[in-house]
Amino acid sequence: MSASVLFVCLGNICRSPLAEAALVAEAERIGLDLEVDSAGTGDWHLGYPPDPRSVAVAQRNGVDISHLRARQVRPEDFHVFDQIVALDLQNLANLEAMRPAGAKAELSLLMDHVPGREGQAVADPYYGEDSLFDATWREVTEGAAALARRLKEQHG
C-alpha cells in the first residue's frame, strides 16, 4: 500500500520543493512507494518554478526540481494526502486553521520526524545568502530520511 505526503511552506518555491525532492529521492533509495507533492499557504508564486537557488542546491545533490511549479494548498489536499508536513510553525498553524472537517491528513512539522528536533522549523533561506540553501537541503534531507523510515515501517 502506498502513502501520500504533501510538504507545505509559505510560497512553495524554496523549502517545500526541496523537501519534496529529498523525500522522492529517499523513497526511491529505500524502495518505498509514495506519492509526494508540495504546496504553499501563500499565493505569491503560483505557477512559478522553484527559486533558482533551490534548483541549484538540488542539482548539486543530484536532483532536478526545475520542472516543479508552485501551487497553493487546496481544501481537497486534506482529504487526498495521508500526511501534510509543514516546514515551520506558522505554516503548521495555517494548515490547522484551514483544515476542513473530516480531513484524513495527519499534520506535522518535518523536523518532528527527526529525534531531538521535534517542534523545530526548517529555516527559510529565501532572504538569506546562498549558503542557507545548503543548510536547508541538509535539514530537509534529514527530515525526509526520518519520515521515509517511519512510512516504510507503516506501509511496507
**Catalytic residue positions?**
9, 15, 124
Of 58, 51, 20, the C-alpha closest to 37 is 20
C-alpha cell at 149: 523510515
- Distance from CA of residue 69 to its chain's centroid? 14
Contacts 24+ apart (CB under 8 A), 94-100: 94/41, 95/8, 95/41, 98/41, 98/73, 100/75
Three-class SS of residue 111? helix
Distance CA 114, CA 28 (A): 20
